[in-house]
Structures are given as C-alpha cells and as structure tokens.
Amino acid sequence: MDSKRDMKDQETERVSKVTAVLLKSRTGEFDLESILFLKLRGIYDLGCIGDCINLERLDLSGNKITNLAPLSSLRLLQILNVSANRISNLEDISSCDSLQSLNVAGNLISSIDNIHCLQSLRKLENIRLKDNTYNYTNPVCKNSSYRNILLEMFPNIRVLDGERVVGRGSDLYKLCKDIDETIKAGFYRNGQLPELPGCKPWVDNDFWEIKRSNNAILDEAYKQFNDVLHECRLLNNRATHVISQTERSLSLKNQPKQYSV
C-alpha cells in the first residue's frame, strides 16, 4: 500500500513541479540551455525552470503559480504569458531585461504599486492586465485611472490590454473609444437611460417591391423576352435529346461483333 502511495505522490510531483526530467521530456531537448520555447500546464511550482537560461518565449497560463522567483534568471526572455494564475507580485521578473510582451491577466495584482517594479524593463511594449475575451482581470483594473497611470509609467508601451495605443492603428482605437464615451454621455442622464422615441422605418414598406410599369413598350419587351426564353428552353431540350440518341447509336456501333460457332 505504501509503495503504491509513493508512486502516486511521485506522479503528482512530476506533474505539479517543474523538473529537469519534465522539461526534457516535454521539449525533446537533452540540454536545458537549448530550450528556447516552452509551454507548460498543470503546475504550481516552477522548480528548475530558471536553468533554461536561453528561453525566449514562455507560456505558463492556466496554472496555479504564485511565485515567479525562478524566472529571475531568464535574461533573454522576450514573451511571457502567466495569465490565469495566482500571482500577486511581479518583482521577480523585473530582472528579465529582454522582456517585450507580458500577459498577467487573470491574477491577483491589487494595486499600481505592484507594477512599479517593471519600470526598469525598457523593452517592454505590450502589457495585458485584462482580457475581455476570456473574462480575465486583476483587482487593480477596478481603478478607473489605472490605464492612464500605466501609460505614464511605461512611455515605450505600444499595446495595453490588447489595444494598440501607439503606432499604426492606435488612432482607430482612440476614435472608437471617444465615440463610445460620447454615446454613453449622451444616453445617460442622472445615471439613468432615458426612454427613446419609437424608430420609424427609413422607407415605405413597398419600397423594395418590383413595380410593373404601365408603359406599353416595357410590357411588350417583357413579353418578347419571355417568349425568347421559352424558345431557348425548347431548343435546349431538343439538343439534349439528339445528343443522347447519337451517343446511344455510337455505343452500339462500337460494340465488338459476336460470331456463333
């Protein structure tokens, strides 16, 4: 019984904690320093992941991670996704000098103070604290001014929460946001949505119906067109019949002759 329990505990450990054996089996690499891209599920302890010193892209989303300390040695890491975990402190990744994109949506980051530590990351251009697609967020996102504060904290940021704020396409995001705020400001009065008058159709009900003209010339043209169309259908049927008969006669002609002995 004890041996079975030990085996079960070892299996759980292999899944829940990052080990050298786990990393090599998942990536097929013999040397941890050769691992450049990594995606792991079902873990809560990052273990020896810091030994992958050449790691460039890391996806740890959807786990139960609380401590990012093992990532502090990943100086070449460019893209990090730790969304949907239990992270409340980002200080351990402040030494990841090459970090360009960071996704921490769906965690426990409670205030702007927890993000100040990332200001030293000069290459950081993409930060996501909220993801409406998966309904991921952080407590800090409840602060109505957190967005403006982050834009001031990170002057090099180009994308925030999936919205481009600098560069090509940023004007469109800003325009849509301004339109949305204008509509809300016009609709809501004293915190309530006023009743709007009933909408009237743009055109009459029979606007899209095809109307027959009383003009005798047009009526005659309709009649001649229908007559020609009918004649074409008859010719098509005759042609199909002739082709069928011809194919049948040719098939009989090409059949091999049989002789009785």
End position of a domain, from candidates 138, 166, 194 = 166
Tokens of 197: 């008058």
Whether residues 152 and 46 fall in one domain: yes
Residues 6+ apart with CB under 8 A from 49: 18, 23, 38, 55, 58, 70, 71
pLDDT score for 231: 81
CA dihedral over 128, 129, 130, 136, signed as positive or negative: positive
pLDDT score for 8: 43
Higher-confidence residue of 159 and 180: namely 159
pLDDT score for 5: 47
Predicted confidence (pLDDT) at residue 40 exceeds the cutoff of 80: yes
End position of a domain, from candidates 166, 187, 207 = 166
The segment with the largest mean pLDDT, out of 93-102, 144-153, 217-226, is 93-102
pLDDT score for 193: 54
pLDDT digits (tens, 9 = 90+) for 122-160: 999 999 999 988 999 999 999 988 998 999 999 889 999
pTM attached to this predicted model = 0.62
- Place 4 in a pLDDT band, splitting at 50, 70 and 90: very low
Least confident of 2-11, 54-63, 245-254: 2-11
Whether residues 152 and 232 fall in one domain: no
| Burial class of residue 66 (count of CB atoms within 10 Å of its CB; 0-12, 13-18, 19+) | middle
pLDDT score for 244: 82
Distance separating alpha carbons of residues 156 and 163, to the nearest angstrom:
14
Distance separating alpha carbons of residues 173 and 207, to the nearest angstrom:
37
pLDDT score for 10: 44
176 domain-assigned? no
261 domain-assigned? no
Predicted confidence (pLDDT) at residue 71 exceeds the cutoff of 90: yes
Whether residues 162 and 238 fall in one domain: no
- In terms of residues, how long is the chain? 261
Number of domains in the chain: 2
In terms of residue numbers, what domain contains 235?
215-250
